[in-house]
């Protein structure tokens, strides 16, 4: 069954442009980069790298990135944009790398795209060196629990964000502009339990707000934040 990514790839590439979409440009990029700068990271695996924008940002920080993604059209674009880069077809559930081969593993808005999240989180942890860092940006679970309806009008005409069946893990088609893809909803406790079960230690948790964005858009984001950032550390050997 398709997850929509091959069919949506050209619209996705256009949507990202050079600076990324709203969430990346005004909410996530700055704190994600801030957590990696001057930390001495050497070798990073970007799991679900898409068209490679974040790998290019990692390389600019002096961190050597490898990007993997199952969507061939996105990997093709990543290679065109960055011929010196290392981009491979691959899935999070079967990372084709030895144990303990990266000091930084990144999942930038990909947990919601990965069907077998249990195996994928175990794989991300397996390829991390002892004391290595797993940096995650994800959609908030109350946001994915509101899909596909999201904002609706109540009986008085007031906007309400419709969250339902929060505890039920499920996949939904989500659509905007010419992009139509699968997104998984899982309660936050599912992600937290899987990460804790790997023995990882939580070092940072935040719900970042927009900076420098159009104030009207920023206000909608403040009402129902889209994103969270977590940094987890593998225990030293
Ligand atoms: C929302 S995009 C994020 C792309 C990139 N990290 C970024 O922030 O621009 C999600 C990506 O997850 C990829 N993906 C889908 N299923 C996956 C899987 N099983 N393992 C790894 N990546 C997957 C998609 O191909 C897509 O590139």
Q: Give per-residue pLDDT as tens, 176-231.
A: 899 999 999 999 999 999 999 999 999 999 999 999 999 999 999 999 999 999 99
User: What's CA 152's distance to the chain center, in Å?
Assistant: 26
- What would the pLDDT profile of 139-187 be if each residue is shown by its tens digit? 999 999 999 889 999 999 999 999 999 999 999 999 989 999 999 999 9
Q: How far apart are CA 187 and CA 91, in angstroms?
A: 22
CA of 46 to the centre of ligand 1 (A): 10
Whether the pLDDT of residue 237 is over 80: the answer is: no
Is 69 close to ligand 1, i.e. is its CB under 6 Å away? Answer: yes
φ and ψ at 6, to 5 degrees?
Answer: -60, -45
| Nearest-atom index, ligand 1, CA of 91 | 20
Cα(60) to centroid of ligand 1, in Å? 21
- The pTM of the full predicted model, rounded to 2 decimals, is 0.97
Atom of ligand 1 nearest to the CA of 24: 8
71 close to ligand 1 (CB < 6 Angstrom): yes
Measure 39 CA to ligand 1 centroid, in angstroms.
25
């Amino acid at each position: 069954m398709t997850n929509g990514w091959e069919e949506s790839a050209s619209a996705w590439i256009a949507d990202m442009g050079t600076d990324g979409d709203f969430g990346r440009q005004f909410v996530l990029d700055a704190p994600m980069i801030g957590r990696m700068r001057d930390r001495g990271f050497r070798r990073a695996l970007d799991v679900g790298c898409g068209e490679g924008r974040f790998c290019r940002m990692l390389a600019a920080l002096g961190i050597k990135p490898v990007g993997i993604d199952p969507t061939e059209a996105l990997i093709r674009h990543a290679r065109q944009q960055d011929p010196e880069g290392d981009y491979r077809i691959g899935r999070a559930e079967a990372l084709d790398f030895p144990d303990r081969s990266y000091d930084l593993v990144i999942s930038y808005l990909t947990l919601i795209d990965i069907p077998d999240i249990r195996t994928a989180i175990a794989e991300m942890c397996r390829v991390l060196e002892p004391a290595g860092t797993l940096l995650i940006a994800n959609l908030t679970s109350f946001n994915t629990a509101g899909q596909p309806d999201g904002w609706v009008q109540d009986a008085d005409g007031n906007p309400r964000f419709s969250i339902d069946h929060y505890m039920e893990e499920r996949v939904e088609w989500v659509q905007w502009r010419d992009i139509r893809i699968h997104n998984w909803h899982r309660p936050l406790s599912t992600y937290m339990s899987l990460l804790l079960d790997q023995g990882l230690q939580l070092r940072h948790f935040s719900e970042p707000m927009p900076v420098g964005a159009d104030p009207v858009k920023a206000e909608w984001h403040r009402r129902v934040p889209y994103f969270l950032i977590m940094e987890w550390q593998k225990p030293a050997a």
